[in-house]
Structure 1
Amino acid sequence: MEFRHLGSSGLKISEIAYGNWLTHGSQVEEDAALACVRQALEEGITTFDTADAYANTAAETVLGKALQGERREGLEIFTKVYWPTNRRGHNDSGLSRKHIKESIDGSLRRLGTDYVDLYQAHRYDVETPLEETMEAFADVVRSGKALYIGVSEWNADQIRAGHALARELHIPLVSNQPQYNMLWRVIEAEVVPVSEELGLGQVVWSPILQGVLTGKYLPGQPLPAGSRATDTAGGDSAIARWLRDDILARVQDLAPIAADAGLSMAQLAVAWVLRNPNVATAIIGASRPEQVTENAEAAGVRLDDDVMKAIDDALGDAVERDPRKTVSPSRRPS
């Protein structure tokens, strides 16, 4: 495993992170989830990403159990706040001082730790003044419950405004967590340049696009049984837009490129993400330990310019690049 700084901070994190969105407490039984975390540790992964909303808090509980007994100083644990969990009252979502204060305490209890390394705003809250949100995050940092602050799926203007307030409050806003992969490149035009300017690193989710970039979904063929695309607990809706035959045919054109590079298609996808110098880590998920091993082997792989061009040629106009696609809800979810 190799390690990178998270933005311009002094914190180093593993180049591959393990995340449990759509798996722990939902798609994967607990024994399998624990086995995947143990395999991640075996592969040298030290960075683990979750959120209170994943599986309605169950994912945090499973991750806390899986990491129990590990040396806390050797881990980097990330979680998030914004979406509602359990109770769905009028203050049970968003980034108000009240919700942040209550959410961090719940996350720490479920994770079985005194602090998280990175506490992230899971979306931008249009109903809360940004000053209130950043002051609440400052309280979390100063109380020792989080070491660093990050955001997720904020656009460039929101990142710039949040960073300015973080500087005034003397708290370390160091990261953004966007979706980023070969087919979804909406952060490249605006978010990445602003992040580079301000010293934020990208903590990338969905580098293999929920399995689409592994090549297992074939144009004109039935969906594989047990795959994320057949998971009615949430996986199917997350992946549906990418299952068009024209997109799947282009993905199949990546197979010879991966083979020539001596990589699986999943490894090619993860290595592609890591080639961006603003990316600090690529979050992988898994339902089986062998998937963790396969994806972790993308650490340290460096793709040359010819491979990058071949990927662009294969995917063509299937790639989404519009920066306006980085959006948060127009109102708090309930």
Structure 2
Amino acid sequence: MIRVRRLVFDRFGPPAEVLRVEEASLPEPAEGEIRIRMERASVNPADLNVIEGTYGIKPPLPCVPGNEGAGLVEALGSGVEGLAVGDRVVVPGLGTWASHLNVSAARCTRVDSTVDPAFAAMLTVNPPTAWGMLHRFTALQPGEWVVQNAATSAVGRCVIQIARALGWKTLNLVRRPEAAAELLALGADAVEVEDPSLPKRVASITAGAPIRLGFNAVGGDSAATVAKCLGSGAHLVTYGAMSRQPLKLPNGLLIFNDLTCHGFWMSRVYQQMGAEEKAAMFARLVELHQAGKLSIPVDAVFSLARWAEALERAAAPGRPGKVLFDPQA
């Protein structure tokens, strides 16, 4: 048994009111479990939704939040195979805002020891969301276009980079014209400020090529703009609702354009993936990262004791990168 430090909440509500640091005893890992010494853990919007009680799943209380992170295997429970003490693993799912945690070995995926712990800690939410949306709904051909709103978000930046690496083009919708230069440098093919005239200009942007795949993380009028940019028989994938507004789609897009709408939730996709498929996806994403084709900037790193500052920074508009915890600090 060891002593650990972790963040925890006993009731749902505003994080500033319900979150606290605690020290507790952690038993030796049970059968099928491993103990992980956490190196880095990321802060995502979904983490705050979990604490508030507004996420798709409400965990049992008390709860240690944190939906992703990376660390080193420190101890093995009986029956664990395929992992060894010292391996670096990524951990999707709750509990990563802690110095150490015991978790089912089946939940974890080993990554190469040369992978930067910060990137590993951001590997299980945003890059897989982008990867999954690009692969699960239609078979894009080389040179085809994808359109998305929220292009400056973490997922949006991953979409740009992964699409570029795999030979697809992206039309990216932004609210601020000054965001264009950064996204173009990242590999975007076109960046446009959202306005009602945009769908009429799509053909000139894509040289007449229809767009068969669109991503929506905003909802409301923004989602309708993305949908109107799509060609016949296209797919609109919704993975977020930043505006907290419902989808507003003209009936004609569904009737005459044969538009298909999908929802995408990475937590559900993980439940559908086998261990080999998951490991192969992570390996491909790591390969892109190590080849310099996929990066996620880090804005700031905080200790668990400074959680209030970390969450305030994570909520700051215009933040240039992700906020991480260093659970050992």
TM-score (norm 2): 0.28
* TM-score calculated relative to the size of structure 1: 0.28
- Greater RCO between the two (CA within 8 Å, min separation 6)? 1
Higher normalized helix content (fraction of residues)? 1
Higher strand share: 2
